[in-house]
DNA sequence: AATCACATTATTGTATACAAAAAAGTTGAC
DNA sequence: GTCAACTTTTTTGTATACAATAATGTGATT
């Protein structure tokens, strides 16, 4: 046996929820999933526990586990929280960042720019992630960085949506450069607000998308 | 059966770890715990999964679950993160707080003061918690408030230590009043830095305690 | 005595069995 | 036809059984 079934299944289920294979409120049927994954209920239950712990699903005692997709309100709250946490990371990083990390940010930005012109969205996502993860790490606080990573990962599927908006990629690039400038200058206030705005705008754009979809559906 | 064994056991184990019944690196033996709690391994394993998910323990595949007490470095990082998150809550609350909540903060502070003079530490802890939880809630962002609560709860056993320091309670009270003043004035910057300092000092005091204990032990 | 190979034991991870509770279905009165 | 009480089925939660891997012990060899 390669690795633990429970871990593999938890990752798979997480992916299924994130890619929208399940709707909000869907019950995660243990027996059905057990058959589907070709295992017994035991590893399925362990996987479900993990989903519940990470907030992807909710458990109602003696009723089952139900997927819990964040609604528009909670998503906006999560984006606002992400913006504030990134701002904190930036504020701390402005005073603690290493020259090497600054070079890495510039490199990631350069590759991002290339990806934009080449319309290579995968590369863009990859370098964009590297950019943000570097800032988290350079906060000099690995606990904080861990929390930032967690939320960043949670919001990933939703961030991808708004990045599809026309002109958003170019705007995002400009914001990245402002962030690097502030970090270079060691200006913690400016770094914080640049990052807060950068992520905050993502939330805003996302809200627009939501309301558009909602009105279109009616 | 009242409630789920797994949940009850998870709470109990959490409490045991927090109160220092287990040392860092101790293996949480499934069979021993099963006997101890008078249940089978199944609910024990579910409880252990919850501890792992909340970062209280670590799982090494096919080796077992080991308690993972944060070391001095990680604790300082957690205090710093708490300080920053509280600052964020304060910044947002300064613009969003209701009159009723302001009154609640003042009431909690008044009761805190009474508790200090009466040397009623339990009452102090209770009202102190109410003070902070109110600020989290008044950030107007329930996701953020939830994250703040989580970390606050995680740090609880360590915060209690530093509050025992001479003069700390009175100082803490003064800080609380400064925070309320800033919130009343709607001054988000001042509220943020007052809260950041208030919690940051706790981390500092805690660090002193640690180093003192360390030198005393040598 | 130290070390390596091998056998034994212990422990984790998974499967299955069972108990208790909830959901679904059925019957009967109105 | 509707509703309520009861029965059946389904599903969760827990116990136990089994399989696979890691830890431990034993003995031969140097």
Q: Give the HSE-up count for residue B8: Cα atoms under 13 Å, Cβ half-sphere.
A: 9
**Boundary of a domain, candidates A67, A100, A120:** A67
**Residue A114 and residue A100 in one domain:** yes
Q: Chain B residues with CB-CB distance to A under 8 A?
A: 3-4, 7, 45-46, 49-50, 53-54, 61-62, 74, 77-78, 80-81, 84-85, 87-88, 91-92, 141-144, 147
> Residue B54: closest CA among chain A residues belongs to which residue?
A53
Per the structure, how many domains does chain A have? 2
Say what the pLDDT of residue B132 is. 98
Say what the pLDDT of residue B20 is. 87
Say what the pLDDT of residue B62 is. 94
Q: What are the φ/ψ torsions at residue B186 (nearest 5 degrees)?
A: 70, 20
Distance, CA of A31 to C1' of D21, in Å: 27
Cβ(B53)–Cβ(B150) below 8 Å: no
Q: Which of A49, A62, A55 is nearest to A24 (CA)?
A: A55
Q: Which of B31, B35, B28 is nearest to B59 (CA)?
A: B28
Residue B163 binned pLDDT confidence (cut-offs 50, 70, 90): confident
**Residue A139 and residue A210 in one domain:** yes
Say what the pLDDT of residue A218 is. 55
- Find the CATH number of the domain harbouring B51: 1.10.10.10
What are the pLDDT digits (tens) for B87-136? 999 999 999 999 999 999 999 999 999 998 998 888 999 999 999 999 99
- Find the CATH number of the domain harbouring A155: 1.20.120.530
> Residue B142: closest CA among chain A residues belongs to which residue?
A77
- Mean pLDDT to the nearest integer, B23-47: 97
What are the pLDDT digits (tens) for B173-208? 999 999 999 999 999 999 999 999 999 999 998 888
Which carries the bigger pLDDT value, residue A30 or residue A168? Answer: A30
**Residue A54 and residue A86 in one domain:** no
**Residue A54 and residue A81 in one domain:** no
Q: Which nucleotide is nearest to A29 (CA to C1')?
A: D11
**Residue B91 and residue B24 in one domain:** no
Q: Is the pLDDT of residue A89 over 80?
A: yes
The average confidence (pLDDT) of chain A is 93
Distance, CA of B69 to C1' of D19, in Å: 33
**Residue B54 and residue B137 in one domain:** no
Q: Is the pLDDT of residue B217 over 80?
A: no
Q: What are the φ/ψ torsions at residue B164 (nearest 5 degrees)?
A: -80, -15
Q: Which of A138, A137, A110 is nearest to A124 (CA)?
A: A110
Which carries the bigger pLDDT value, residue B183 or residue A171? Answer: B183
**Residue B60 and residue B97 in one domain:** no
Bases in strand D with any atom closer than 7 Å to a protein CB: 11-17, 20-23
**Residue B46 and residue B96 in one domain:** no
Percent of chain A scored above 90 by pLDDT?
Answer: 78
CB contact under 8 A, B61 and A147: no
Cβ(B44)–Cβ(B33) below 8 Å: yes
Say what the pLDDT of residue B100 is. 97
> Residue A148: closest CA among chain B residues belongs to which residue?
B81
Residue B2 binned pLDDT confidence (cut-offs 50, 70, 90): low
Which carries the bigger pLDDT value, residue A31 or residue B218? Answer: A31
**Boundary of a domain, candidates B67, B97, B120:** B67
**How many CB atoms lie under 10 A from the CB of residue A214?**
10
Say what the pLDDT of residue A2 is. 60
What are the pLDDT digits (tens) for B70-91? 989 999 999 999 999 999 999 9
Say what the pLDDT of residue A165 is. 81
**Residue B97 and residue B191 in one domain:** yes
Cβ of B41 less than 7 A from strand C: yes
What are the pLDDT digits (tens) for A153-166? 999 988 888 877 88
Q: Which of B208, B22, B42 is nearest to A49 (CA)?
A: B42
Q: How far is A51 from B93, CA to CA, in rounded Å? A: 31
Residues in chain A: 218
Distance, CA of B21 to C1' of D17, in Å: 33
Q: How far is A150 from B81, CA to CA, in rounded Å? A: 14
Q: What are the φ/ψ torsions at residue A67 (nearest 5 degrees)?
A: -70, 145
ipTM summary value: 0.90
**Residue A95 and residue A180 in one domain:** yes
The average confidence (pLDDT) of chain B is 93
Token match 């009242």: residue? B2
Q: Is the pLDDT of residue B214 over 80?
A: no
The contacts of residue B187 (CB under 8 Å, 6+ apart) are B94
- In A, which residues are within 8 Å of B69 by CB distance? none
- In A, which residues are within 8 Å of B49 by CB distance? 46, 49-50, 53
CB contact under 8 A, A80 and B141: yes
Residue A170 binned pLDDT confidence (cut-offs 50, 70, 90): confident
- Mean pLDDT to the nearest integer, A210-218: 73
Q: Give the HSE-up count for residue B188: Cα atoms under 13 Å, Cβ half-sphere.
A: 11
**Residue B25 and residue B130 in one domain:** no
**Residue A194 and residue A113 in one domain:** yes
**How many CB atoms lie under 10 A from the CB of residue A50?**
21
Say what the pLDDT of residue A87 is. 98
Q: Is the pLDDT of residue B3 over 80?
A: no
C-alpha to C-alpha distances, B56 to A152, B23, B40, B65, nearest whole angstrom: 22, 11, 22, 10
Which of A17-21, A212-216, B13-17, B167-171 has the least mean pLDDT?
Answer: A212-216
Q: Which domain holds residue B175?
A: 72-217
Say what the pLDDT of residue B218 is. 54
| Alpha carbon of A107: minimum distance to chain B alpha carbons (Å) | 28
Q: How many Å is the Cα radius of gyration of chain A?
A: 19
Q: Is the pLDDT of residue B216 over 80?
A: no
**Boundary of a domain, candidates A37, A67, A97:** A67
């Amino acid at each position: 046996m390669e690795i633990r079934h429970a871990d593999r299944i938890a990752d798979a289920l997480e992916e299924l929820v994130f890619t929208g294979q399940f709707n909000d409120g869907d019950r995660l049927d243990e027996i059905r999933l057990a058959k589907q994954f070709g295992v017994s209920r035991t590893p399925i239950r362990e996987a479900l526990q993990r989903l519940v712990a990470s907030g992807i699903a909710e458990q109602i005692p003696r009723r089952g586990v139900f997927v819990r997709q964040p609604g528009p309100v909670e998503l906006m709250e999560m984006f606002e929280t992400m913006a504030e946490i990134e701002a904190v990371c930036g504020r701390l990083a402005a005073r603690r960042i290493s020259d090497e990390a600054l070079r890495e940010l510039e490199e990631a930005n350069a590759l991002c720019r290339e990806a934009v012109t080449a319309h290579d969205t995968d590369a863009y996502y990859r370098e964009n992630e590297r950019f943000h993860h570097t800032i988290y790490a350079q906060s000099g606080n690995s606990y904080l960085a861990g929390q930032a990573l967690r939320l960043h990962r949670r919001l990933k599927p939703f961030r991808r949506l708004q990045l599809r908006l026309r002109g958003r990629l170019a705007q995002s690039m400009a914001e990245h450069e402002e962030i690097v400038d502030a970090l270079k200058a060691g200006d913690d206030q400016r770094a914080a607000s640049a990052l807060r705005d950068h992520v905050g705008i993502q939330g805003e754009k996302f809200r627009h998308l939501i309301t558009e979809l909602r009105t279109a559906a009616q």
